[in-house]
A and B are shown apart, each in its own frame.
Chain A
């Protein structure tokens, strides 16, 4: 196997692992953000309804 091929395979493996690790973190924190977004908008809607 040539050095160039080994280099790209290592780069590929690191990038793939990084993708899944960041995706995992984003999924977890994103759920909290989603609650913030929908709850905030609900409050906004009810405020507008009351005024």
Chain B
């Protein structure tokens, strides 16, 4: 009887690792439900090349002591400065 050797050998292709794959799939399913929240998402120091610095730079937060003194007035406004969105659609010509 001939046994054909083939290199390289796929070492994880063994029933011994089936459980690990299942567990990883369960963890994936579990942790994906956390969305963009730590600790599934990395801490801010690791997020320099994402939108976080941009978000922070355009928001204008209120110092908390000042806020607490005049809360009823401040809650009428958002501290975001989003520009107006385009509301007209493409023209139908």
User: Do A and B interact with each other, yes or no?
Assistant: no
